[in-house]
Chain A
Amino acid sequence: LAKTTQPISMDSYEGQEVNITCSHNNIATNDYITWYQQFPSQGPRFIIQGYKTKVTNEVASLFIPADRKSSTLSLPRVSLSDTAVYYCLVGPFNQAGTALIFGKGTTLSVSS
């Protein structure tokens, strides 16, 4: 699976938009990009997944440039409850049974 690189930590204030960029230079043609969120004492939670261009759901947006070597998770108007670790994962997630490979993730701290 493609290796990913993302910032270790980010700080933000309530109401701001937060963009977390992930680099995945060796992404394969059949790889998808998936983001998970993890709160303390909980398991990771799926946020969003995409293959190319832009994907938006009720939680976040995912921007993927044409070369797919990076992606940006955008969280609109964050609140204190968005404080968590965010993981960027790349793999053939269009098929069941793909083991997720987690990196260190990005620890987002939201302050009032």
Chain B
Amino acid sequence: EAGVTQFPSHSVIEKGQTVTLRCDPISGHDNLYWYRRVMGKEIKFLLHFVKESKQDESGMPNNRFLAERTGGTYSTLKVQPAELEDSGVYFCASSQDVAGTSTDTQYFGPGTRLTVL
């Protein structure tokens, strides 16, 4: 079974430019999460999708960040315009919502390293 994939693995952009990160969750996983780690900080939650609906976007830092999950499959996270403080590693995770189970294991992708110059 393929794991969570993210594209690109690295992105270097200039301040003010736009970048779009993509996440493909594990097939059949309804839950999709975005997290990020900025330099020297802990991994922080950004938002959570259930299928195509945003369930919790309390961690989104500001309106320069836009996440979508059209069709409930892959998701994109767009940063427009990018600022220096957006540099970091962006992780995507997915989980399967199975009724009656006692765990909700989140499977993480390898991350996208974003550098804003």
Question: With A43-B91, A44-B43, A103-B42 known to touch, is A97 a contact of B108 (CB < 8 Å)?
Answer: no
Q: Which residues of A contact B101 (CB under 8 A)?
A: 94
Q: How far is the CA of A51 from the CA of B108 in the complex (A)?
A: 22
Partner of B105, one of A42, A46, A103: A46
* B33 and chain A: residue at smallest CB distance: A99
Interface string of A72-112 (1 = CB under 8 A from B): 00000000000000000000011111111111100000000
Q: Which residues of A contact B45 (CB under 8 A)?
A: 99-101
B42 with A46: CB separation less than 8 A = no
Q: How far is the CA of A104 from the CA of B58 in the complex (A)?
A: 21
Q: Shortest beta-carbon distance, B19 to chain A, in Å?
A: 19
Q: Which residues of A contact B65 (CB under 8 A)?
A: none
Q: How far is the CA of A100 from the CA of B110 in the complex (A)?
A: 17
- B56 sits at the interface (CB 8 A): yes
Q: Which residues of A contact B111 (CB under 8 A)?
A: 41-43
A42 with B110: CB separation less than 8 A = yes
Q: Which residues of A contact B95 (CB under 8 A)?
A: 96
Q: How far is the CA of A95 from the CA of B100 in the complex (A)?
A: 9
Q: How far is the CA of A111 from the CA of B109 in the complex (A)?
A: 28
Question: Which applies to chain A's interface (DSSP): helix, strand, loop or mixed?
Answer: loop
Q: How far is the CA of A95 from the CA of B101 in the complex (A)?
A: 8
Partner of B110, one of A32, A43, A93, A99: A43
Q: Which residues of B contact A46 (CB under 8 A)?
A: 105-107
Q: How far is the CA of A42 from the CA of B96 in the complex (A)?
A: 21
Q: Which residues of B contact A99 (CB under 8 A)?
A: 33, 45, 48, 56, 58-59
* B29 and chain A: residue at smallest CB distance: A96
Which one of A51, A95, A96, A97 has the highest number of Cβ atoms from chain B below 10 Å of its Cβ? A96
A41 with B110: CB separation less than 8 A = yes
* B109 and chain A: residue at smallest CB distance: A43
6 additional A-B pairs beyond A41-B110, A97-B48, A102-B44, beta carbons within 8 Å, are A94-B103, A95-B104, A96-B96, A97-B104, A98-B104, A100-B35
